[in-house]
Structure 1
Amino acid sequence: MDDLIHHVNSWSDTQFVQTFGTLFEESAWVAERSAVLRPFSSLEEMMQVMTQQVLASKYEEKLQLLRKHPDLGARISMSSNSVQEQAGAGLDSLSPEQYKDLKQLNGEYITQFGFPFILAVKGHTAESILESIRHRRGRSPQEEFETALNEVFKIAAIRLRQWYALARDGS
């Protein structure tokens, strides 16, 4: 077992939640429920356990988790993770037309599905994001709910890898 995961396993539940409570957008309950299931043999296992906590949760909890995510490209208050992720995809520098299109598509998507459009934007451009939201609007509510949850899992895994890289370099 790598020294870092051994260190994480030795933390108090409070320290674990403070560190990993932001992996799932404003949903520290995922880390709270996972903390008590330590020790983990790897960060991959930790992410699997966290994912299982979400999948095993009630529908309403999953829906609230999805609703905690900000609209992509919205110029509103959002977590520092979301700000960095969206900036990396160019969503902080949309043209006025792209911003108008994304705002309209986001509104239509929320009306259709009841939660914001969620996409792990790493590696995407503004155009590929617009294309993705257009494509996904053609899905059934159940299919899109599952897709959105899978995107949440991708986002959390990316955030965990970023944390690991910083923690490893800092030690």
Structure 2
Amino acid sequence: MKFTVHQLSEMSKQQFVESIGWVFEHSPWVAERAYGAKPFRSLSHLHLLMVRQVEEASEGERLSLLRAHPDLAGRMKLTDASQKEQRGAGLDRLSPEEFDEMTALNEAYVTRFGFPFIVAVRGLGKEEILSAIRERVTHEKTDEFGRALSEVAKIARLRLEDIIKSGEAGE
């Protein structure tokens, strides 16, 4: 269902969280906290307020947010949004060799950083995603923690754009 920013501002907290609490993967607390800053002036304003909630959260909450994301091309149950995004990037059509490499890289990444590899896959192909994980698994933990949170924010922005009625997405 699509909403206007005005409609989102007029919702009860429960309606608001039910409507957009999913844009930050399995982390409705982001929407719950952003709700108090309404009215929302635009999609960009709403996104900024939600990202601010993540930035102001404890390190443990931010780590839990990262850990709420599935492994790319993994076999675990995905949310509808993640499944659609991964399918769009071709991650459901990896060759056996690509799947084995992605699995090994995901495992190495989680072992090194303590959270799954996160990238906003929309608009990327499987080769670009494999290249990104190969490169990012070599980063320092503090750098990668920030990069992963930045990717989460990108994913949330794209998801908000999908549910905000056209004409408001660029605001």
TM-score (norm 2): 0.94
Partner of residue 33, structure 2: 33
Give the SS at the match of 1:92: helix
Give 1:165 shift.
Answer: 4.2
Give 1:123 shift.
Answer: 1.1
Partner of residue 8, structure 2: 8
Partner of residue 79, structure 2: 79
C-alpha distance in 2, partners of 1:28/1:131? 31
Give 1:115 shift.
Answer: 0.2
Give the SS at the match of 1:117: coil
Letter in 1 for 2:136: R
Identify the structure with bigger relative contact order (alpha carbons < 8 Å, sequence gap 6+): 2
Give the SS at the match of 2:120: coil
Misfit runs of 4+, over 3 Å: 165-168
Q: How many residues align?
A: 166
Structure 2 residue runs of 5 or longer lacking an equivalent are none
C-alpha distance in 1, partners of 2:78/2:166? 22
Give 1:166 shift.
Answer: 7.4
Q: 1:165 to 1:9 in 2, by over 3 A?
A: closer
CA RMSD of aligned residues (A): 1.5
Partner of residue 45, structure 2: 45
C-alpha distance in 1, partners of 2:107/2:16? 36
TM-score (norm 1): 0.94
Partner of residue 132, structure 2: 132
Q: 1:81 to 1:63 in 2, by over 3 A?
A: same
Which has the larger displacement, 158-167 or 102-111?
158-167
Question: Percent same amino acid at aligned positions?
Answer: 44
Give the SS at the match of 1:36: helix
Structure 1 residue runs of 5 or longer lacking an equivalent are none
Letter in 1 for 2:142: Q
